[in-house]
Chain A
Amino acid sequence: MTSSDGSPAQGSRIQRCLVYLSLGMLLSGAGSASGSEANGAPGLADSAGLRATVFGTPPQNMAPLPTRVPLLEINIALPWARPVPDVFWFDRKLRVWFSPQRKPAPLAIVISGTGGDGNTAQLSILRGALYGAGYHVLTMPSPTFAGFIVSTSSTGVAGDLMQDGRDLYAAMQEIVGRLPRKVRITEIDVLGYSLGGANAAIVKSIDAAEQKLKIHRAVMINPPVSLFSSVGRLDQLFADSIGSGDDAIERLYRTLYAALANLYRASDRVQIDEDFLLGAAATVLKTDAEFSAAIALSFRMNLVNMFFAGDLYAGTGVVVDPRRPPKVGDSLEESQRILRNKPFAEYFTRVFAPYYLKRRPDSTAASLIADNRLDVIGDALRHDADYYAQTNSDDVILDRRELAWLQDTLGSRIAVYDHGGHLGNIGERQQVADMLKMLGGGWPGQAK
């Protein structure tokens, strides 16, 4: 647990932050790139919300967490998996993490946010909180994570709520059925953050019909209401804070490089290591535009992977020639260069829509978008008392109408906090306490 001599114990957290940060930092030139202070970020985000989204819960505000959480890594080959394309040779199996209790206990299955693997910093915090409260905890990647798309998806084209929900549900059955025998499960609950929140609710609704896992409660943490509007806001954030095209990205890179080089020269460090990067992020990211750029870029980095996988599986030929898919030793630099300039909107029009329109004869682009709103399970959310949500009034992925829809639909089964942005209060005392009450069925409604 030592990240380097002298900084004990925070290694794993830092590691998971690292990709976010080093990429998130790739970004920060943004402020000067666009020259504009974020004149009204999209959605509900304000300055504090953006900051919280980037830096997360300050350690001093964290809920009490257990001393030790045991961890098993499970790699599982799913029987329905499709042949693995050459370039994804490393993603053959679905990788999930499991923390077993010694006694019979409820199982909490937690689903990651967009593009996230099964062991992100947020999952690690939630795992700690849930394990400490006596749950077995199983953490799973998002269906939009490249490793999930390759090992588990039945289509290879991620982002469809129902299809992703069915894939997740099938994978959960497979995993739960093959957990070590001494693990005794009393009931199953599902949770998820960001897109994973929506995934969790969908999985519960599928299970309500099929009854294979008998899932009891679902808690959505900062869920989107309309998938495509939410990512649309992140596209907008990218365009506003970074710009578009190779020039914008190059400008961002140059600004960031200079900022890091100057920081490094002024420091007495020998090596650029994780601690340096963490400190640098705090120094470099200061304005709304910079926070926006960090958020937008880290989303874009995930999108690039999902876009590539989708294009490869759907054979839509945006960057992958369907007749000559890339081989193991081939350079993918050009594909990456092209994809990093492409917003989600383009994934929708060039990969997602062509793929699903062909397979669902009655659908239209508009109906595909509508199918990816939480109101596909609106009735269940409204009438089934086992669905809960937590969100923030300054979450960048929501707008006022969507927040109102959530409040109206879930009634007393939602907690809305006045800070935290998107995921920036996960692990906070209040968030954890409320989440545990919701899962345990003892949620009295939010105190006004």
Chain B
Amino acid sequence: MRLAVLLGVVALALGGCASRSISVRSVPSEYPAAENAAAVESAAAYAAAAATADTTAREALAPVMPADAPSMDTYDPWERLNRFTYRFNTRFDEAVFLPVSNAYRGIPSPIRSGVHNFFGNLSEIDSVINYALQWRLKLSARSLVRFVINTTVGIGGLFDAAAKLRLPGAPTGLSATLAKWGIRPGPYLVVPILGPSTLRDGIGLLGDYGASYGVNIANLYRGNVSWALGSVNAVDQRSNVNFRYYATGSPFEYENVRFLYVRKRLIEDAGLRAK
């Protein structure tokens, strides 16, 4: 049964289901007044932060110089396979992922943020382990404290009570740990459904899942519960990512996404090693 559903979804995504000449679908409404109010607020917050930033001493590290920038080319020996996967992901997203996450965004936001917090709380365990492996014990302890507070005071993780106690979340994972140990990203890799990654980050992802599976907190990672939770988690994640495949209409989107993703990760790696 599970397999049949999965195969159906894959067939849909591969074939593309839109053969009608017109499709009209509701997408989430816009809330311009609220967006603008939020923008006013964040502009003010940013201005305040920028005003104080100049006075705080920068770290005494040698700054990154233009000559240190990696080449503009990206190591992508599996390009054909990656392009195929990217195309699959596009179709899957249009046919399944995006419509579902758009519908999900119709649910009142307090409920959605409860769900988001719940999964964020589960991932603290992985952060505890990985911060320890990165030998950043303070952060490891902070993740542990967050987990304890949010699981109890935050009612099973539905509320991020710890953030209100000035313990904001800072999730990490195995790919960050590998980066900290100096392991290079390796070849570019497009992961089915999840999207842009590298070999190292892909392994990191598997490792993170393995850790959660191993710890198996409250037996959530076994049997049908794990499938249900995994799906909700995926939808939650998707609805928090503002990306639409080929919104740019560009034939070079694969190249552009690859370029930006890998540069972003390299900057994060360098920052991580410096910290």
Contact = CB atoms under 8 A, between A and B. Distances in A.
Q: Do A and B come from one complex?
A: yes
Interface of A: 1-5, 7-15, 18-19, 22, 29, 58-60, 62, 64-77, 79, 87-91, 93, 97-98, 117, 119, 124-125, 127-128, 132, 141, 145-148, 150, 178, 180, 250-251, 253-255, 257-258, 260-262, 264-266, 270-272, 274-275, 278-279, 282-283, 304-305, 308-309, 328-329, 331-333, 335-336
A266 B59 contact: yes
A74 B22 contact: yes
Interface string B10-33: 000000001001111111111111
B43 interface: yes
Contacts of B263: 257
21 contacts: A2-B112, A9-B37, A10-B38, A12-B242, A64-B33, A69-B30, A73-B24, A75-B23, A88-B251, A146-B249, A146-B251, A150-B249, A253-B72, A255-B66, A258-B69, A261-B267, A264-B271, A272-B264, A278-B46, A305-B250, A328-B87
Contacts of A258: 63-66, 68-69
A413 to B, nearest CB: 28
Interface of B: 18, 21-40, 42-43, 46, 49-50, 53, 58-59, 61, 63-70, 72, 79-80, 83-84, 87, 90, 105, 109, 112-113, 116-117, 120, 160, 169-172, 239-240, 242-252, 254-255, 260, 263-264, 267-268, 270-271, 274-275
Given A73-B25, A329-B80, A14 B34 contact: no
B83 A328 contact: yes
A58 B267 CA distance: 29
Contact of A265 (B64, B160, B244): B64
B268 A264 contact: yes
Contacts of A304: 250, 252
Nearest to B34: A9
A93 B249 CA distance: 11
Contact of B30 (A68, A150, A253): A68
Contacts of B87: 89, 328
Contacts of A251: 66
Nearest to A312: B251
B99 to A, nearest CB: 11
B22 A7 contact: no
A10 B39 CA distance: 7
Contact of A261 (B21, B24, B42, B271): B271
A261 B267 CA distance: 5
A336 B259 CA distance: 12
Contacts of B39: 10, 13, 59
Given A71-B28, A305-B249, 17 more contacts: A1-B28, A1-B35, A3-B242, A9-B38, A10-B35, A13-B39, A15-B243, A59-B36, A60-B43, A67-B31, A73-B26, A97-B27, A146-B249, A148-B249, A258-B64, A332-B251, A332-B252
B19 to A, nearest CB: 9
B130 to A, nearest CB: 12
A354 to B, nearest CB: 21
Contact of B26 (A11, A70, A88, A253): A70
Contact of A283 (B21, B50, B271): B50
Nearest to A147: B249
Contacts of A128: 30, 32
Given A75-B22, A304-B252, A262 B63 contact: yes
A74 B23 contact: yes
Contacts of B70: 257
Contacts of A67: 31-34
Give the one of B33, B87, B251 with max A CB within 10 A.
B251
Contacts of A88: 251
A119 B28 CA distance: 13
Given A65-B36, A71-B26, A328-B87, A9 B31 contact: yes
A2 B113 contact: yes
A146 B37 CA distance: 33
Given A15-B242, A72-B24, A255-B66, A5 B250 contact: no
A5 B120 contact: yes
Contact of B249 (A29, A62, A117, A279): A117
Contact of A336 (B42, B90, B120, B252): B252
B255 A336 contact: yes
B169 to A, nearest CB: 8
Contacts of B105: 1
Contact of A68 (B21, B29, B63, B244): B29
A261 B265 CA distance: 10
Nearest to B242: A15
Contacts of A180: 24
B66 A308 contact: no
Nearest to B64: A261
A11 B32 contact: no
A141 B249 CA distance: 10
A271 B268 contact: yes
A70 B106 CA distance: 12
A332 B69 contact: no
A112 B164 CA distance: 43
Nearest to A252: B66
Contacts of A2: 109, 112-113, 116, 239-240
A284 to B, nearest CB: 12
B27 A19 contact: no
A117 B248 contact: yes
Given A71-B28, A257-B263, A264-B267, A8 B38 contact: yes
A71 B28 CA distance: 7
Contacts of B83: 328-329, 331
